[in-house]
Amino acid sequence: MRILVSTIAALALVASCTSVKEVPGLVNTRVLPLGDTVKLHEGAIIYSLPLTAFDFTVIAEKKVLKAGPYNNYANQFLGLKDVITQDQVVWELREVRIKPVTEVDPKQYYVIESDGLMQTNALALKSAGLVLDISSSIYSGRNYTTDLNSESGRIEFRDMGSDQYYNVEQDTTYRLVELDTAFVRIPYMLERKRQLTLEQQAENTARILLELREGRHLILTGEATVFPQDAAAIDEINRLEDEYISLFTGKSRSEIQTFKFFMIPEKEMVGKPVIIFRFSPESGVVDSQDLSGRPVVVEMISAGKVENINMVQKDLSQGEKFDKLYYRIPEVVNVRVSDGRKTLGSSRQLVYQFGQLVTLPANYIIAK
């Protein structure tokens, strides 16, 4: 009897020390698509499913070529053959960077309502990126303005290099002077300035250029009678040589320019090339409607990671009430940008709208 009483007392003590979790009562939770027929009540929660968009950053190099005024005489006076013979602008497409951006899907707004204490895993889904708050902060700091007609500074030749541009010619002429009953021709000298031809100017510039090289050689070999105190003289000779030789070879300048494009992928685009913009070696990046350039396309291939997940079969358009929380599982997509000749950029991205729409009980709480 004593043993039995002790055992019952021990069990009662253990039972009294054990915490019992009370399961809250079920409440009427409704999740409806937001539309004209849905009325919002106080305490309702509105959320949206995410949508993936692509930001494309196009990096192109613009090279401006300016022919020198003496390019026709480069081989004749300096022995140079590989020179710029005409003005032109040459573009080269370097790279296309792909950046995924998560946005609110305007077609997938939902309202959560309940007539009691609402318990939902919306916060957990939000932290995982499967559902989104309706907030303008998603779009902050994004600018897609692109100037397709930007112009750079011009390349000019301000010094033709020649030490003279005209010759002074003296001619003897006469004027008639009346003396008594006769006219006398009196000679006098008349000076005329005649501009040098372009070939003569090129010849003078080539001679000065060769004299600069000879003077630098004398300074560097110690044969000059006067020596500079520092490297400033050599630097100035080098600068003048570059300026004068560019009159024959021409000038060029390169700069990197970036362009922004934006696209929202749709399921119909999977496996098909979609034109983002066009590119011309003469005009650079142009609009997709400009047929002067070859098309630059994006190709999206679905990896099929979520194909076996069952889609939601219930028709929400009938206004039925469900205690389900709707969210999206994104699909893995291989994205490739090319111009038909080479790949300009590629990445592996998660695209929400290519995935599946699934449900979870609205009052289900994910355990920690």
Label residue 12 by pLDDT band (50, 70, 90). Answer: very low
300: closest CA among 41, 5, 54, 49?
54
- The model's pLDDT over 174-208, given as tens digits with 9 standing for 90+, comes to 777 777 777 778 787 777 888 889 999 999 999 99
- The model's pLDDT over 230-259, given as tens digits with 9 standing for 90+, comes to 788 889 999 999 999 999 999 999 999 999
Separation CA 271–CA 5 (nearest Å): 77
Separation CA 30–CA 289 (nearest Å): 47
The answer to whether 323 and 30 are in contact (CB under 8 A) is yes
pTM of the entire predicted model: 0.70
- The model's pLDDT over 317-353, given as tens digits with 9 standing for 90+, comes to 554 555 677 888 899 999 999 998 899 999 999 999 9
172, two tokens: 């003897």
How many Cα atoms are found within 13 Å in the side-chain-facing hemisphere of 205? 30
pLDDT of residue 298: 95
How many Cα atoms are found within 13 Å in the side-chain-facing hemisphere of 336? 14
> Residue 285 class from Cβ within 10 Å (0-12 exposed, 13-18 middle, 19+ buried)?
buried
Separation CA 268–CA 300 (nearest Å): 10
pLDDT of residue 143: 59
Residues with Cβ within 8 Å of 25's Cβ and at least 6 positions away in sequence, in order, are 116
User: Torsions phi, psi of 208, nearest 5?
Assistant: -65, -40
User: Which is higher by pLDDT, 367 or 224?
Assistant: 224
3-state DSSP call for residue 104? strand
Each domain of the chain, given as residue ranges in start order, spans: 26-65+95-153+259-361, 175-247
